[in-house]
Amino acid sequence: MGCNVWGSILQKSSAINQCNSVCITKESVVNGSCTGHGCCESPLPSSRVPLPTTALPSIDKLFFITLHCDDKHLDLMSYGMRTYGFVVEDGSYDFIESDPQDFNRNISMKLEWSIGEGNCSQAMESNSSLCAENSYCIKSKRGYGYRCKCLQGYQGNPYLPGTLGCQDIDECSARSNLCVPKATCQNRVPGYACIDDGSTVAIKKSYAVAQNQVHQFIEEILILTQIDHKNIARLLGCCLETQVPFLVYEFISGDTLYQKLHGDADDSTPLSWKSRLQIATEIAEALSHLHSCASMPIVHRDVKSSNILLDKNHEAKLIDFGVSRFIPQDKNWVLTVLKGTRVYLDPEYFETGNLTEKSDVYSFGVVLVELLFGQAAIQHEQTQAYNILVTHFLSCVERRDLFKIVDEGILREGGTDDLQATMEIARRCLSFKGEERPTVKEVQKELALLIR
């Protein structure tokens, strides 16, 4: 920061990144801008620096900031005679034109860190994980190593044992619960429970107060009153008179399928092939009930792994009917406003707006691929147009090398025949045209035959 100054980041006497700041006129310096007029910025490269075993790491591990002023243009430096160089957390500093003259503001920097070189699985296999009790391992944002985090309902230091580590949060005394005024809050280890008649319940509460949010809740109530199935979360009651409406569901003690598959679950034990197949079958049964057993067919419209809850026995429960719709018998419903999560969305519905039961079948196919390969459904960052996981799966189907991307443990448990049959079901569910997809009833029957 300053006028006519060059700043460099050095390591081993070599410049890694650099930028320069000039002040052609005082008017060229703009508040909030750090693009080379009075202020410039350059990213600090990521570095795999181990913790030092001595007071300081070796000199070749350090970064240095150097500044060089151009004293040939002193007449242009009357605005900012001082120069500064500093490390700051990205996005936390906004340049002010008076800073080069009198810089006395507090700034912050953020150090990303991780433990070791291996991932969570490797740390657990080698029995070297530093995560203490009531905590679990999470992936590092740096791309290698791992971190520890307290389980949901606990707080504290996840690396320390006993009373120094993760301790239960008393949500009742902290008043950080969603129990209604007439209910009694009971602290649990972990979590808490709300008691009217002794039952434990779950509360779905709206964050918005907009009228359309209330209408969405009413739609969800109307749909859920038509449903009674063991693999669909049961609605127990509601309250629409309060400023912020909420729904009361049966309480399911467990994580979502997304958390379980992709490393954010309280329980880090991986799902067996038999459990994955059972979960897929149960969700297919739930969707089949929606499509055929209600008084009018219901399309869930937002089937995804984060809308599937697993209880302690890994029994699946389909949740969140906020965007679901009744479909008249033997008719399609054209919707001008698309709803659902993009990476799970039926491409035919996305292009035409035609909503049918086959739209749920496509979304189920994405979940089935997640169960097969343990990878998350990810949207392409640049085009925002397609699901990377589905595209990869279908290309592997075409090349006939599917087993190369299946986890070795799943391949060993499931066997090639059952895996091949499940992959074929997923392929048919992911057909671009809805008419080429099987019904969810057909899917359920085929999956049930694979369970032994």
Highest-pLDDT range among 54-68, 234-248, 276-290: 276-290
Highest-pLDDT range among 10-19, 20-29, 160-169, 337-346: 160-169
Measured at the CA of 184, the angle between CA 180 and CA 188, to 5 degrees, comes to: 110
Q: What is the pLDDT of residue 414?
A: 82
Question: Where do the CATH 3.30.200.20 domains begin and end in the chain?
Answer: 178-250
Examine the pLDDT at 284 and tell me if it is beyond 50: yes
For the domain bounded by 120-168, which CATH number is listed?
2.10.25
pLDDT digits (tens, 9 = 90+) for 236-278: 877 766 667 777 888 888 889 988 888 766 666 788 899 999 9
> Is residue 310 within 8 Å of 279, Cβ to Cβ?
yes
Task: With cut-offs at 50, 70 and 90, classify the pLDDT of residue 56.
Answer: low
Q: Choose the weakest-confidence range: 98-107, 210-219, 284-293, 342-351.
A: 210-219
Examine the pLDDT at 38 and tell me if it is beyond 90: no
Q: Who contacts 46 (Cβ-Cβ below 8 Å, separation ≥6)?
A: 112, 142
> Is residue 85 within 8 Å of 7, Cβ to Cβ?
yes
Q: Among the CATH numbers 1.10.10.10, 3.10.20.440, 3.30.200.20, 2.120.10.10, which is that of 178-250?
A: 3.30.200.20
The CATH number of domain 257-450 is 1.10.510.10: yes
Q: Who contacts 327 (Cβ-Cβ below 8 Å, separation ≥6)?
A: 296, 297, 298, 299, 333, 355, 356, 357
State the catalytic residue, choosing from 99, 255, 266, 302. 302
Question: Where do the CATH 1.10.510.10 domains begin and end in the chain?
Answer: 257-450
Mean pLDDT value across residues 151-178: 86
Q: Flag whether the pTM goes above 0.85.
A: no
Examine the pLDDT at 102 and tell me if it is beyond 60: yes
> Is residue 22 within 8 Å of 33, Cβ to Cβ?
no
Task: With cut-offs at 50, 70 and 90, classify the pLDDT of residue 77.
Answer: very low
Question: Where do the CATH 2.10.25 domains begin and end in the chain?
Answer: 120-168
Tokens representing 130 are 């530093």
Mean pLDDT value across residues 27-46: 80
pLDDT digits (tens, 9 = 90+) for 298-329: 888 889 998 999 988 899 999 887 666 656 55
Instruction: Verify whether residue 302 is a known catalytic residue.
Output: yes
The mean predicted confidence, pLDDT, of the chain is 80
Examine the pLDDT at 297 and tell me if it is beyond 50: yes
Mean pLDDT value across residues 8-19: 83
> Is residue 258 within 8 Å of 265, Cβ to Cβ?
no
Q: What is the pLDDT of residue 396?
A: 83
Q: Who contacts 203 (Cβ-Cβ below 8 Å, separation ≥6)?
A: 178, 179, 180, 194, 246, 247, 248, 249
What's the start-to-end Cα distance of the chain, in Å?
69
